[in-house]
């Protein structure tokens, strides 16, 4: 089960949000879990109907609370804590209501204060928890930034993935990770790839060993993260293979990662092929498809138009060629 703690949430966002503990630093061990898809909404404004694990009190919530009679304020606080929040954040530099402060101390629930607006607090904490609690997996390959597109280069061991990555770096593209790529699902259609801390900046090339890409090529050759958009699989055809690699793929290829479909291209590896140029061409073709231009479909349409024209001119042909 994916989870973190209130204490880690505080430490990671203390400087960004200028967080401080109110009263005693209690409740830091309280867990923040993501055990269901709807659990993504862990942080939000004070909500008693659909309670969040981290309740944020802003100026509007404070005004509503203060306007209530004391008995109703006490009842509201009891209802709030019956929902078992992990933490409460008092935003905009407001003074915590005495009833709220007393109950948090009694129940051992963390309470923080920040001068930042409530909307900012919610946005920052949601982004942080989305990354920390994201579903993740690891893939073997080289993850690159090629023409602004996150590309995962895969293939069998020894096929030349790292050498291809090195050539792409020398052509001005960026390295994210080599050998092991950490992939996290940050949204319904978003996969983010990062490098494990141990392998950061390094690329292993057979015969050369480990190369520090940041030191050799400079800061611009390294990317801390990229969204995964395309998988390029290097396929080394076997001489004994029953079926050779498809020369003209007419159907798009995809691969499923963490429930998200990612476009895929298979490039046969052979002596004399410039794989770096082929990868760049595959990326440019992918970008064109995103813009609504499909080269294969355009060619097939042109071919069909030529066949239709030939059928119309030659009465000896009794039927039309079926469309692809």
Of the residues 8, 16, 45, 179, only one is catalytic, namely 179
Collapse the DSSP code of 312 into the 3-class scheme (helix H, G, I; strand E, B; otherwise coil) and give the result: helix
Of the residues 50, 70, 106, 247, only one is catalytic, namely 247
**Which stretches of the chain are assigned E, i.e. beta strand?**
2-5, 20-21, 31-34, 43-45, 54-57, 87-90, 110-113, 135-146, 149-155, 174-187, 190-194, 202-205, 209-212, 225-235, 253-257, 260-268
CB atoms within 10 A of CB 203: 24
Distance between CA atoms of residues 196 and 199, nearest Å: 6
273 is catalytic: no
CB atoms within 10 A of CB 314: 8
Collapse the DSSP code of 137 into the 3-class scheme (helix H, G, I; strand E, B; otherwise coil) and give the result: strand
Burial of residue 252 (CB within 10 Å: 0-12, 13-18, 19+) is exposed
161 is catalytic: yes
Of the residues 18, 59, 79, 140, only one is catalytic, namely 140
140 is catalytic: yes
Of the residues 12, 53, 161, 194, only one is catalytic, namely 161
Cα dihedral 243, 247, 248, 249 sign: positive
Q: What is the phi/psi pair of residue 62, to 5°?
A: -65, -40
35 is catalytic: no
Task: Check if the beta carbon of residue 191 is closer than 8 Å to that of residue 228.
Answer: yes
Burial of residue 213 (CB within 10 Å: 0-12, 13-18, 19+) is buried
Residues for the chain: how many in total?
A: 324
- Indicate which residues carry an active-site annotation: 140, 161, 179, 247
């Amino acid at each position: 089960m994916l989870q973190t703690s209130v204490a880690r949430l505080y430490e990671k966002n203390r400087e960004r949000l200028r967080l401080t503990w109110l009263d005693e630093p209690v409740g830091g061990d309280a867990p923040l879990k993501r055990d269901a898809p709807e659990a993504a909404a862990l942080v939000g404004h004070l909500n008693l109907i659909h309670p969040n694990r981290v309740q944020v009190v802003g100026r509007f919530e404070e005004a509503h609370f203060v306007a209530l009679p004391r008995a109703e304020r006490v009842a509201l606080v009891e209802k709030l804590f019956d929902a078992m929040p992990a933490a409460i954040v008092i935003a905009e530099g407001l003074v915590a209501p005495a009833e709220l402060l007393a109950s948090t101390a009694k129940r051992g629930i963390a309470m923080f204060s920040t001068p930042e607006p409530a909307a900012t607090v919610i946005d920052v904490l949601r982004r942080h928890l989305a990354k920390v609690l994201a579903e993740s997996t690891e893939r073997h390959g080289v993850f690159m930034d090629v023409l602004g597109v996150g590309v995962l280069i895969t293939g069998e061991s020894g096929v030349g993935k790292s050498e291809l990555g090195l050539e792409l770096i020398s052509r001005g593209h960026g390295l994210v990770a080599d050998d092991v790529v950490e992939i996290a699902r940050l949204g319904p259609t978003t996969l983010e790839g990062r490098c494990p801390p141990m392998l950061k900046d390094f690329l292993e090339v057979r015969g050369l060993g480990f190369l520090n890409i940041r030191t050799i090529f400079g800061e611009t050759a390294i990317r801390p993260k990229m969204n995964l958009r395309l998988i390029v699989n290097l396929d080394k055809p076997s001489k004994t293979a029953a079926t050779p690699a498809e020369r003209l793929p007419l159907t798009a290829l995809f691969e499923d990662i963490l429930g998200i479909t990612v476009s895929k291209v298979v490039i046969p590896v052979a002596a004399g092929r410039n794989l770096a140029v082929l990868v760049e061409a595959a990326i440019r073709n992918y970008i064109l498809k995103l813009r609504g231009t499909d080269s294969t479909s355009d060619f097939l349409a042109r071919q069909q138009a030529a066949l239709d024209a030939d059928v119309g001119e030659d009465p000896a042909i009794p039927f039309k060629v079926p469309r692809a």
